[in-house]
Structures are given as structure tokens and as C-alpha cells.
Structure 1
Amino acid sequence: MGLDATAWVAIAFVLFVIAVFKPAKNAILSGLDAKIDEIKAQVEEAQDLREEAEGLLATYQRQQREALQEAEEMVTRAEEDAQRLRTEAEKSLEEALKRQEELAAEKIAQAEAAAVARVQELAVDLAVAATEKILSERLTGKPGKDLVDEAIEELPTKLQ
């Protein structure tokens, strides 16, 4: 049984392909394994980065919520402080107005008392002057002397 050249070429080609395929297969598989490992590493890195990004996002969202809450609390405290200050200012103004009103009423009362005292002084001065004039006109001569003597006699009874 003899093989012709075409058969030998086919056999040689198959042996060549088998001989070349085994080392090429190992090289191709090791290259693919390396590429798979590289892709796995990139996927793991991407997952780590994603987890880190999600953590940062959650942190920033929490910080934003806290900042908003703090800002709202600050606004609330500022409004309360403003209301308290407004109330205190109104109370202080009310007290100041009341003190001014009391002071004005006191000054008016003092002025009235001074006016009444002055009028009384003038009335007394006028009465004394009128009495002096009347007495000086009536107590001259004999009738005046009789009147003075009579008053002196009545004096001890009036003093008792």
C-alpha cells in the first residue's frame, strides 16, 4: 500500500498543524487567560471605585442634609431672636413712654402746686395789704384806740 505524494502532503500538513497548534494553543490560552485576569482586575477596580463613589455620594448627601438642617435651625433661631428682640424693644419703649408720662404728670402736678402756692401767697399778701390799709384808716384817732383796748381786754379769754 503506497501512499502517493498528495496523501503524504496531507499527513504532513495535519502533523504540522497538530505540532504547531499545541504550542500556539498554549500561547493563545495563556494570552486569553492574561486578558481575562486583566479584565477581571479592571472589573474589580471598577466595582471598588463604584462602591467608593457610592460611599462618597452618600456622605455628601448626608452632609448636604445636615447642612440644610443646620441652616434651617439657624434661620429658626434667628427668627426667634428677632421676635424676642422686637418684644424686648417694644417693652422697653412702653416702659420709657410710661416713665416719660409719669415724669410729665409729676412736673404738671409740681407746676400746679407751685401755681396754687403762688396764688395763695399773692392772696395772703393782698389780704394783709388790704387789712393794713383798712386798719390804718379805721384805727386812727379815738375809735381806733377804743378798738385796740377792747381787743386787749378780750385777749386773755380768747387765749384760754
Structure 2
Amino acid sequence: MSDLLMLVAAEAAHGAGAEHAEPAIAGVLNATVIVSISMLVLVGIMLWKKVPALIGSMLDGKIAAIRAQLDEASDLRKEAEALRAEYQGKLAALDGEAAAIRERAEQEASLVVAKAKEDAAALVARRQRMAEDRIAAAERSAIAEVRDTATRAAVAAAQQLIVDGHNAAADKPLVEKAIADIEKI
């Protein structure tokens, strides 16, 4: 900062009494006038070559391109919203279908459980009948065996009694009577 102050002070001391001269052409055309004329010539050339119309048409083209992109974006948004609504509808339908499937599965499961209970009860009843039939068959067999054994014992006892109580002399009148009965027939 001190360097800056020294520079300003030196300028003030050096140029304090003298004015410097501005460059000029023919005494009237100084730098400001020359720059102004140059600008007017430049603007004139730009108007003569129709640069503003060219710039306007380029801007109009850009505006049209941006408008087309906005329209396309709007169309894409509408399509996306339609797809979203469609998929939400499908999702709702799938939720309803899933609930229906779950309900059917629960009903089928309850039917299967009821059928299994019926089958188990029928199996128990059938096995009970089979056991009862086996017991009844075993009882009949035992009764038949007891009768058979009793009959054999009675026959054996009767044979023994007959053998003990009858001899050849006692059997002769019985044999003759049996033969006589046969001859009558």
C-alpha cells in the first residue's frame, strides 16, 4: 500500500503544472469522435448484413427447440403417469387375487383337515370292527374247539363206558336186533 501512495505522490508532483495533450486528427477528430464513428459504421454494417434478423431467427429456432423438448417432456410425463396408474391398478388387482388365493387355500386346508378327521375316524371305526370281528372269530373258534374237545372227551368216555359195560355176550342181542331192523327196511 505504501508503494501505491508513493506512486500517486510522484504522479502528482510530476504532472502538477503541465497538461498533457490528447491525440487528434485534424484537430477535431479526437479519440472519442473516432470511436463513435467506428461504432456507427459497425452498427451500420451489422444492419446492412441483417445480423439482428439472423440473431432473431437463431433465437426463434432455439425457442422452438426448447418448446419441442418441453412438449416431449410433457408427453413423456403423461405416458409415465398413465403407466403408473396402470401398474397401480394391476398391483391392486394382484393384491385382490392374492387375497382370493389365500382364502381359497384356507378353505381347501380346512376341507383337507375335515377330510383327514373323517378318514381317521373311519379308519379307527374300521380297525375297531376288524378287531371286534377277529375277537368274535376267535371266540367262535374257541367255542368250536371247546365243543370239539368236549365231544371227543364225551365220545372217549362213552367208548370207555361201552367197553367197560358191554362184552361179547351183551353185544350179541344188540347186534341181532340192529340186523333185524335193517332187514325190515
Shorter-chain TM band: 0.5 to 0.7
Query: Which residue in 1 is equivalent to 2:63?
Result: 36
- Alpha-carbon distance between aligned partners in 2 of 1:12 and 1:67, rounded to the nearest angstrom: 77
Q: 1:54 aligns with which of 74, 78, 81?
A: 81
Query: Which residue in 1 is equivalent to 2:122?
Result: 95
In structure 1, runs of 5+ residues without a counterpart are 153-160
- Alpha-carbon distance between aligned partners in 2 of 1:141 and 1:43, rounded to the nearest angstrom: 142
Larger Rg: 2
Query: Which residue in 2 is equivalent to 1:84?
Result: 111
Query: Which residue in 2 is equivalent to 1:156?
Result: none
More helix by share: 1
Matched, 1:64 2:52: no
Post-superposition CA distance 1:86-121 (Å, at most 9, x none): 322232222122112111111110110111111112
Deviation at 1:139, TM superposition (A): 4.7
Q: State percent identity of aligned pairs.
A: 31
Distance 1:18 1:118, change over 3 A: same
Tell me the SS of whatever aligns to 1:97: helix
Point out the more displaced range, 113-122 or 72-81. 72-81
Deviation at 1:65, TM superposition (A): 2.3
The TM-score, its normalising length taken from structure 2, stands at: 0.59
The TM-score, its normalising length taken from structure 1, stands at: 0.66
**Root-mean-square deviation (Å):** 3.5
Post-superposition CA distance 1:137-159 (Å, at most 9, x none): 345699x78xx7xxx9xxxxxxx
Post-superposition CA distance 1:16-65 (Å, at most 9, x none): 74774583432333222222211211110110010011111112222222
Deviation at 1:67, TM superposition (A): 2.6
Amino acid in structure 1 at the alignment position of 2:63 = I
